[in-house]
Structure 1
C-alpha cells in the first residue's frame, strides 16, 4: 500500500483531531478511504465502518504527509521540517470521529470497483 497511517490524534472536538499518513511511494489517492471501527467493552466490533472518508483524486509524492482533519476546512499544503509537503484534507464532520476515550480503530482501505444499487421507493 502506498499510504500508511502513522497516528490518530483524537479529541472531543472535530477541529482538534486528525489522521496522520505518510506516502511510501508516489501515489494518487483516488481509490483510498479511511474508516473507523468501534468496539464494545468485550473488544468485539460494535459498529464496523461507522464513518468513512473517501480521498479525492490527488497526486502526492513519496515522503509527503497527509493529515485528514475530522472537522471542516479547505484543502491546503505546506512545506514541513522533513523538507517534504504536508497535505491537509478535511472530512467535514460536525462531530468527532475518534473516541476521546480511545479504542476506535482507523483503517486505511483501497478499492477499485464499487458495486451500487439504488433501493426502490416503497409502494404506497
Structure 2
C-alpha cells in the first residue's frame, strides 16, 4: 500500500484527536479512505464501519504526511523542513472516535469505482 497508518495522537480529545499517515510512494489521495470500525474478538474487524472518510483529490509524494483530525476545521497544507509536505484534513465529527480499546481504523486503497444516481 502506498500510504501507511503511522500513529494516533491525542486520543480522546475532540479538539486535537488525529490520525497520522505517511506516504511511501507517489500517489493521489482520492484513491484512499479510512473507516472507523472495531476489532473482532475472533480477529479481523467488523465490516460495517461506524464512520468513513474518503480523501479528496490531492497528489502526494513519497515521504509526505497526511493528518486527519476527528473534529471540525479547514483543510490546509504546509511544507516541512525536510522538503516533504504535511496535509491536514478534518473528518467533521462531533465526538471522539477512540473511546474503546477495540476501536480500529481501516485504511483502504480504492483502485477504481463506479457511481450511478437514482434519478
Q: Same fold (TM over 0.5)?
A: yes
Distance 1:73 1:97 in 2: 16
1:68 aligns with 2:68: yes
Q: Where does structure 1 differ by over 6 angstroms across 4 or more consecutive aligned residues?
A: none
Q: Which structure 1 segments of 5+ residues have no match?
A: 119-124
Count residues with an aligned counterpart. Answer: 115
Q: Which structure 2 segments of 5+ residues have no match?
A: none
Which residue of 1 is the match for residue 107 of structure 2? Answer: 108
1:82 Cα offset (Å): 4.0
1:114 Cα offset (Å): 4.5
> TM-score by structure 1 length?
0.78
1:115 Cα offset (Å): 5.8
Which residue of 1 is the match for residue 6 of structure 2? Answer: 6
Distance 1:19 1:114 in 2: 28
Give SS of 2:101's match. coil
Give SS of 1:14's match. coil
Distance 1:102 1:116 in 2: 37
1:1-124 equivalence runs, <5 A: 1-39=1-39, 43=41, 48-80=48-80, 82-99=82-99, 101-111=100-110, 112-114=112-114, 118=118
The structure with the largest alpha-carbon Rg is 1
